[in-house]
Amino acid sequence: MRIGVDYYPEHWDKSLWAADADLMAQTGVELVRLAEFAWCRLEPREGVFDFAWLDEAVALFASRGIDVVLCTPTSCPPLWLYEKHPDAVMVEKDGQRTRTGIRGHRCVNHPAVRMYCERMIEAMARHYADNKAVIAWQIDNELEAYFCFCERCNGRFREWLQAKYGSLEAVNRAYGNVVWSGEYSSWEQIQPPCGSYPHAWLNPALMLDYYRFASDNVIAFCNWQAELIRRHCPGRPVTTNVWFCEHMPDFYKEFRDLDFISYDNYPATKLPEDPEVCCSHAFHLDLMRGVKRAPFWIMEQLSGGMGCWAPMARMPEPGMIGGYALQAFAHGADTVVFFRWRTANIGAEMHWHGLIDHSNVPGRRFREFAELCRRAKELQGVQGAPIKADVAILCSFENEYAFRIQPQTNGYYYLEQLQRLHAAFTALGMNVDVIGQHEALDGYRIVCAPEMYVASDASQRLHDFAAGGGTVILTARSGVKDEHNNAVMAQLPGVYRDMAGVYAGEYAPIGYDRVQVRFEDGTAVEAGQWCDVLTAETAQVLARYDSEYFKGAAAITRNAWGEGKVYYIGTVGRQELYRRVACIAAKEAGLPIIPDLPAGVEITVRRGREGDVRFVFNHAASAQRLTLDGQALTLAPYEMLIQHLH
Ligand code: GAL
């Protein structure tokens, strides 16, 4: 396991640099990430580049054996650029230009932004092309699928539509524009979703295309940067760092042409008291590994209490600094870079804590970090080791967008059901992959396909997978929309009805109301949000609603399809509901499970060079006892036990 830190030489007096680098080297830090916001120091005046300070910093680290990840500083163009090109900032929904002086405000399509970015990237990439200390590049910082409503971006959207549909008739048909007399008779009439209307009032077909466009648009900017870096600094892997935000690009497309994934990982410093809240970042980590189906990096890892965008949160409790980093490693993050070395004493983020506090006196969190660095050295044999999972969960950004565009019912969130299924299988001690809907399903035994809402070619693969002996778990809100985000004229679950062997004669979006779901053994669990009122055609009923006006109707079913099985969960249950289904499905598929793991204990196995390595993590605020292979274990809060299995 390789440990790094995010460091900002430009924030500190130079007299601190050498001492910082020394302490990093002594502690076991192997790399630093530099310069993602440093444009105003790299080009203080137009066309005047200054790499001397960065050279000095890079050399200082290199002389201590610390590698460098350099970033393109394109998230924060300097103010002289905006002074010269005031229209280079993004235009917001209300038509106002974003104000400068913060970050991420540039319009990525503005020719001046492109021109200055190109010059900066070329100058930097050429300058560091022969510098062996620079081992990788990060593009920009946390790129988002920005909604910029400047005239240029609006024009790009229209061009994107022209390329996709070819004719206005095709757009009108795809969008059902006859509704509210919205039929276009010229391309200029096409409006992006700006203005004061809530998004839910706008045409859902246009909205989904706009999300797709916004994602493609920023990915084009990212790939353009990658190409520049590769041209002038060949042989270094290129990445960009992502997080889960409101306007996420489609990660599967974003990383397709980049060399590796990096993710910014900020797990909660206070675990929720409600056990129903899925809080483990194991889900996000498995999702990030699934983007390229390969080990990945954490480019920013929790180092201290978070604060600045909101009041300060709790500091990481004892055990969290090491435990959360090892949790990331257990799920495939071979390199974990901590944000940040020292808490900033200046700027808006001065309350987002680093490993060392404002005082510059290393304290408890730093000692835990140093201990982690020691443990990391012992994990070299597991570096790059794959994780073999029998269970996969399918994920799609199209669905994430479509559910944001049209919230289904109160409390209903797309990713939450993926998380609940993930939590259900991981609670049985199983490795779980979260992969894109476009992926092949070979090698899995169980594939969870929750909320297959917008039509995709995954439908055929799921049919084939089940027919060939696999187990598929489907849920409500599947088969609902065509590829344009229009409702399909079919009883739900539409294209999945045959394999599921059920149909929903009606559905009940019950929001925050609750309903009882009773299993065949007489026990009941609570559900809510959504209820498909199911009629089993060929399926066997596993559970029925036991309250509400549809009492007695099927809620959860299982169908035989070819050699395999198809489960259908027609409602959104408490965690226990998913645990039950996961347990039944795993047992039936003959997969080994650990049914009595205490809450919060997560087990992951990586295939190391010298055999399997088992990671047992206590993601709970209290000590947990368990028995594994006949051996009694006690894990302190956030403790990670690493066992080499032979
Ligand atoms: C990240 C971002 C960092 C820093 C951090 C703390 O999302 O990439 O630059 O802002 O959050 O706020």
Residue range 255-280: mean pLDDT, rounded: 94
- The span from the CA of 321 to the CA of 314, in Å, is 13
Q: What are phi and psi of 333, to 5 degrees?
A: -85, 100
Give how many domains the chain has, as a whole number. Answer: 2
For residue 431, report the distance from its CA to the centre of ligand 1, in Å. Answer: 29
Residue 439: which CATH number? Answer: 3.40.50.880
Answer whether residue 299 is part of any domain: no
Q: Which of 588, 617, 632 is the last residue of a domain?
A: 588
Same-domain status, 493 and 606: no
- Residue 646 pLDDT greater than 80, yes or no: no
CA angle 633, 639, 645 (to 5 degrees): 55
Residue in the structure block whose two tokens are 């929720």: 272
Q: How far is the CA of 322 from the centre of ligand 1 (A)?
A: 20
528 found inside a domain: yes
Q: How far apart are CA 240 and CA 233, in angstroms?
A: 16
Q: Are residues 606 and 581 in the same domain?
A: no
Same domain, yes or no: 474 and 606 = no
- For residue 313, the 8-state DSSP code is -
Sheet holding 601-608, edge to edge: 601-608, 611-618, 640-644
Identify the pLDDT of residue 276: 87
Which of 565, 588, 611 lies at the terminal end of a domain, its last residue? Answer: 588
Mutate to test the pocket of ligand 1, among 142, 144, 240, 299 (most ligand atoms within 8 A of CB): 142
- Which residue has the least CA distance to atom 9 on ligand 1? 141
| Residue 477 main-chain phi, psi, to 5 deg | 65, 35
Q: How far is the CA of 293 from the centre of ligand 1 (A)?
A: 25
- Shortest-distance atom of ligand 1 to CA 142: 8
Q: How far is the CA of 573 from the centre of ligand 1 (A)?
A: 34
pLDDT for 196 beyond 90: no
pLDDT (tens digit, 9 = 90+) per residue, 337-364? 999 999 999 999 999 999 999 999 999 9
Q: Which atom from ligand 1 is nearest to the alpha carbon of 339?
A: 5
Q: Would residue 576 show up in a list of annotated catalytic residues for this protein?
A: no
User: Is the CA virtual torsion 256, 257, 260, 266 positive or negative?
Assistant: negative
- Check whether residue 506 and residue 631 sit in a common domain: no
- Indicate if the pLDDT at residue 62 is higher than 90: yes
Same domain, 608 and 482: no
- Grade residue 475 by pLDDT with cuts at 50, 70 and 90: very high
For residue 219, give the nearest of 244, 192, 255, 260 by alpha carbon: 255
Tell me the average pLDDT of the chain.
Answer: 96
**Cα distances (angstroms) measured from residue 235 to each of 4, 84, 221:** 21, 36, 21
Same domain, 449 and 508: yes
Q: Cis ω on the peptide bond leading into residue 340 (within 30° of 0)? A: yes
One domain for residues 506 and 639: no
- Contact between residue 53 and residue 10 where contact means Cβ atoms under 8 Å apart: yes
Average pLDDT over residues 174-195: 95
Specify the pLDDT at position 623. 97
Mutate to test the pocket of ligand 1, among 71, 75, 141 (most ligand atoms within 8 A of CB): 141
The reply to whether 580 and 433 lie within a common domain is yes
Of ligand 1's listed atoms, the one at least distance from the Cα of 36 is 9
- Closest ligand 1 atom to Cα of 349: 12
Tens of pLDDT, residues 490-500: 999 999 999 99
Nearest ligand 1 atom to alpha carbon 243:
7
Euclidean distance between CA atoms 440 and 296, whole angstroms: 20
Average pLDDT score over residue span 504-533:
97
What pTM, to 2 d.p., does this model score? Answer: 0.97
Helix %, strand %, coil % of the chain (to 5)? 35, 25, 40
Per-residue pLDDT, 609: 85
Considering the domain boundaries, does residue 21 fall inside one?
A: no
Other C-beta atoms closer than 10 Å to the C-beta of 255 total 23
Among protein residues, the one with the nearest Cα to ligand 1's atom 10 is 349
> Which of 244, 352, 355 most suits a substitution to test ligand 1, by most atoms within 8 Å of the C-beta?
352
Cβ-Cβ contacts under 8 Å for 89 (sequence gap 6 or more)? 82, 97, 98, 99, 100, 105, 106, 107
Active site residue 602: no
* Domain membership flag for residue 482: yes
With H, G, I as helix, E, B as strand and everything else as coil, classify residue 218. helix
Yes or no: say if 73 and 34 are a contact pair by the CB < 8 Å rule: no
Residue 550: what pLDDT? 98
Q: Is the pLDDT of residue 200 over 80?
A: no
Tell whether the model's pLDDT for residue 99 goes beyond 90: no
* The token pair that represents 580 in the structure block: 């039950």
d(CA 35, CA 74): 10
Atom of ligand 1 nearest to the CA of 308: 12
Q: Whose CA is nearest to atom 6 of ligand 1?
A: 352
- In this structure, are 616 and 581 located in the same domain? no
Whether the Cβ atoms of residue 479 and residue 494 lie closer than 8 Å to each other: yes
Task: Name the active-site residue from 10, 92, 122, 142.
Answer: 142
The answer to whether position 562 is within a domain reads yes
Name the residue of 300, 341, 355 whose CB sits within 8 Å of the most ligand 1 atoms, as the mutation to test its pocket: 300
**Helix (H, G, I), strand (E, B), or coil: what is residue 129?**
coil
Residue 564 inside a domain? The answer is yes
**Mean pLDDT, residues 567-592 taken together:** 96
Span 563-589, mean pLDDT?
97
The boundaries of the domain holding residue 485 are 391-588
In this prediction, residue 77 carries a pLDDT of 96
Is the confidence at residue 102, as pLDDT, over 90? no
Q: What does the block give as tokens for 235? A: 């042989």
Q: Both 613 and 539 in a single domain?
A: no
Please give the share of the chain, as a percent, with pLDDT higher than 90: 95
598 CA from centroid of ligand 1 (Å)? 33
Domain membership of residue 461 (yes or no) is yes
Distance from Cα 317 to the centre of ligand 1, integer Å:
21
Q: Could you tell me which residues are beta bridge partners of residue 641?
A: 616
Ligand 1 — pocket residues by CB below 6 A?
141-142, 243, 264, 300, 308, 339, 349, 352
pLDDT band at 197 (very low <50, low <70, confident <90, very high): confident
Give the side-chain half-sphere CA count within 13 A for 516.
Answer: 10
Expressed in angstroms and rounded, the spacing between residue 427 Cα and the centre of ligand 1 is 31
Distance 198 CA to ligand 1 centre (A): 28
What per-residue confidence (pLDDT) applies to 194? Answer: 86
First to last CA, the chain: 20
Predicted local confidence at residue 310, as pLDDT: 86
Ligand 1 atom nearest 309 alpha carbon = 12
Does the pLDDT at position 526 exceed 90? yes
- In the structure, what pLDDT confidence band is assigned to residue 56 with cuts at 50, 70 and 90? very high
Sequence letter at residue 283 = F
Distance 38 CA to ligand 1 centre (A): 14
In a domain, 572, yes or no: yes
Residue of 36, 254, 300, 451 marked active site? 300
Residues 412 and 490 in one domain: yes
Distance CA 134, CA 425 (A): 40
Residue 275 has pLDDT above 90, yes or no: no
* Predicted pLDDT of residue 308: 83
Q: What is the 3-state secondary structure (H, E, C) of 131-168?
A: CCCEEEEECCCCCCCCCCCCHHHHHHHHHHHHHHHCCH
Confidence grade of residue 595 (pLDDT, cut at 50, 70, 90) = confident
Angle between helices 414-426 and 575-588 (to 10 degrees): 50
369-385: average pLDDT: 95
Q: Tell whether 581 and 615 lie within a shared domain.
A: no
